[in-house]
Structure 1
């Protein structure tokens, strides 16, 4: 199978990697699941399908995120062996169905979460990359830099530095191909695999899946409607369980969309510091709060037990799929693991991202994007009020690109999801944001949908599916 030049031209730059992803998905699906198989290298696959290496890299990154393949340093990509389990877990099966369905042609994905879909910086990024390619001949650019391009690492250190007493250096920043790989290396570098982790709930499915892959016991602390923990419950868990790691959202929680008060974050950080617990601050949505003054956990955290992680694609778009982390401790362990992992990321692409930051273009873009997100969120709330028929309650968001909804009467959103698939509508049931079966009557609703479609009609279909499930005896 090859992707014709005509097809590639029509889909480039946004959709070529999706075609590669579907090709690999079909191929993997035809292989025996109980035996490990080696997959083509990035370059071999790019040559076979007549696409760019970056497109094959993005496709493999998606498959890694979904847990379908794994990368091994200097060996390549391999399928994951599927073994029968007497107690199958609901999360992977439902999660796989949600994402596989959302990527099928003609589907309306009401549950996606990609802020840059509304307003991306992909074209400026590619233009900068072309300019830099002329400025830096290939012979003068390293084939790869294992910790990330130095200029981009310096930019990240500068952006997270707040004062002469609270600062970061480029050596503290590491850049990888995707968020999943970064979390995997971070847990290994800090000897946290197999330990006890505490997370906010609902929690990012990518974080949950990686903690599962690291064989960690995950304790979920539910967020209340106003975005706060039950602090007494939080403290009790720390007293009863040998927690070594807490993964918490920096500003706006995802997918809940709420922001915890500063005093609560300060108390949480005080308890974590007292017990020497690592804080992994998820800053993927830190830039999308509607209030710039909202506190971050890093404002109060022990700097020697703090790791910040995030991605570029939420703000820039799919042409910037890289993830990054900052950590002041165990830099030698991080360097060793990154050398072994041998990420091969385009130095020129990273330089272009750094230039977007330094020029101020990214900051002005962020202001426009946040305004657009706030407008679309309000529009979606208006549509829900008009067509919801009292079936759904909205948790008031304080930022982000989604709405967290709860059915006003008990309903299994998994069954609602199945009903809507027949109408080519894909929702994100709340169940995929928990490992403990929470949030079955909830769902995440995206405000970065394809607004050229009849969203009001799709919401009416959602409401009808909820009503049909609610009243089915």
Structure 2
């Protein structure tokens, strides 16, 4: 990134921080462009870029012949969801049928898919990825048609290990095993550690793919209370480990799906300590960690793992190339079991896509792409929060993620979001009802929305329509 690019973002972040903490209030006039230039010693184009950035987030507006004014504040965003309180009246059939129904609609290009938690194709470097794939075919022996070694492409594992230093993971190439996406990494980890009938712990709500995977393996799932900011309730986790026979714990540590919560560093450290004390493996899904809106990537539970109790799983499916199915796991002390599981179930990972992603990481293109993606998604999240505050029922509560792609909405309890989903679908809008994210009969008034779409007037109109439909049901 250029020096000017860093400067305009720094100026914009400073003003946004003042708006967030009400140093600058709605209606306040901002310093003129010339004053910004003098105060920060920057060019006029840099000062303008900072204000354009704040305008794109819906926080300020330009008034002809007058200047720039604060138009919106975080104060007016909807309230946050409360800590979940999972019930234990299992009704898994409700989850399975609903997931199948929602995903049956995803292939329809006419639908506006707020239900899909991946970035829009327009936000991905497709042309650069195509060139990287062609180069991989040219450079690999036999054009990439040969099997990879069981642990996976060595160049890719080198790059992932190098990348881990950004969150103090300090992994080595030999610590890693490649997989066909993050779900595949989670599957190998669970298969290696558990047997049918075993109990595992997850957050609640939790990504429906985890629930379906666990049920397919014959596992019993305990859903624990979870906060929309700090993640799983550590006291509930501690009590569960003390009173029940738990075979594994599966957590999404950074910007979870669907809540968007991010465990604070001290919570991650404490969670690892609890796992070590009770001898329970921690499978960490760190799929969204690179999509942060702050100044630094958040650490992972693996950062604090000194005994090898954490199996750290990741992928580029949410950041770079969903269809390439490139993921990985650092299994810690369970490495041999996970390698054996992969050998039995797939022998090898896909050669070409691994090589292409390895080259993309090696050239530095990934970080350049991530900077743009993070900025776009942060802007999107603020626009969505503003729109939900304006168009949805007043009692609506919304998560406030500091990264990732997803918002969790709690609507008034009278609203059945499965009916809202069916009604919205008639208008070519697809949402994910909250009932998908639990095996219990709960979250029937909740929805998950993805802000990975390209923000435009069509998206705003769709959110307005969705809000109006919810108001009519209320």
Q: TM-score, normalising length from structure 1? A: 0.75
Tell which deviates more after alignment, 228-237 or 199-208.
Answer: 228-237
Name the count of aligned residue pairs.
384
1:92 is matched with 96
8 Å contact from structure 1 (residues 414, 440) kept in 2: yes
The answer for the alignment partner of 2:193 in structure 1 is 190
SS in 2 for 1:89: helix
Tell me by how many angstroms 1:464 deviates. 2.9
Distance 2:164 2:377 in 1: 24
Aligned to 2:468: 464
Shift of the 118–241 alpha-carbon distance from structure 1 to 2, 3 Å rule, reads: farther
> What aligned pairs does 1:183-262 form with structure 2 within 5 A after superposition?
183-262=186-265
Q: Does 1:268 align with 2:271?
A: yes
Q: Which moved more, 1:429-438 or 1:228-237?
A: 228-237
**Alpha-carbon distance in 2 for matches of 1:339, 1:409:** 48
Counterparts of 2:105 and 2:144 in 1: how far apart (Å)?
Answer: 44
Q: CA deviation at 1:109?
A: 1.1
Range with bigger deviation, 374-383 or 142-151: 142-151
Which range moves more in the overlay, 255-264 or 226-235?
226-235
Cα distance in 2 between the residues matched to 1:336 and 1:349: 22
2:119 counterpart of 1:115: yes
Partner secondary structure for residue 212 of structure 2: helix
RMSD: 2.6
Contact kept? 1:411, 1:466, Cα under 8 Å: yes
What's the CA shift for 1:368? 1.1
| Partner SS for 2:283 | strand
Aligned position for 2:313: 309
Larger radius of gyration: 2
Q: Please, what TM-score do these two structures have when normalized by structure 2?
A: 0.75
- Alpha-carbon displacement from aligned partner over 1:302-347 (angstroms, at most 9, x marks no partner): 5421101122121112342222211122333333332222355442
Residue of structure 2 in register with 1:105 after alignment: 109
Structure 2 vs 1, CA of residues 354 and 225 (structure 1 numbering), >3 Å: closer, same or farther?
Answer: closer
CA pair 263-257 structure 1, distance change in 2 beyond 3 A: same
Moved more, 352-361 or 263-272: 263-272
SS at match of 1:339: helix
1:135 and 1:294, CA in 2 relative to 1: closer, same or farther beyond 3 A? closer
CA distance in 2, matches of 1:331, 1:231: 27
Matched, 1:177 2:177: no
- For 1:438, the equivalent position in structure 2 comes to 442
Residues 363/254 of structure 1: CA separation in 2 closer, same or farther (3 Å cut): same
- Against the structure 1 CA distance between its residues 232 and 149, is the aligned structure 2 distance closer, same or farther, given a 3 Å change threshold? closer
Tell me whether 1:411 sits opposite 2:415 in the alignment: yes
Cα distance in 2 for partners of 1:196, 1:375 equals 40
Residue from 419, 422, 431 that aligns with 1:427: 431
Q: Is the 8 A contact 1:425 1:458 kept in 2?
A: yes
CA contact (8 A) 2:313 2:330 kept: yes
Structure 2, unpaired ranges of 5+: 1-89
Partner Cα distance (2:135, 2:184) in 1: 30
* Separation (CA, whole Å) in 1 of partners of 2:422 and 2:330: 40
The worse-fitting range, judged by mean Cα deviation, of 167-176 and 347-356 is 167-176
Once the two structures are TM-superposed, the CA of residue 359 in structure 1 deviates from its matched residue by: 1.3
2: distance between equivalents of 1:168 and 1:123?
31
Give the equivalent residue in structure 2 for 1:324: 328
What is aligned with 1:286?
Answer: 289
User: How far 1:163 sits from its partner (Å)?
Assistant: 10
Please say if residues 122 and 319 of structure 1, whose CA atoms lie closer than 8 Å, have aligned partners that are also in contact. no
Hey, what does 2:301 align to over in structure 1? 297
- Greater CA drift, 355-364 or 338-347: 338-347
- Does the 8 Å contact 2:181/2:317 carry over to 1? no
1:392 to 396, 420, 424: 396
1:371 paired to 2:371: no
Q: Is the 8 A contact 1:393 1:406 kept in 2?
A: yes
Aligned equivalents of 2:423, 2:208: Cα separation in 1: 22
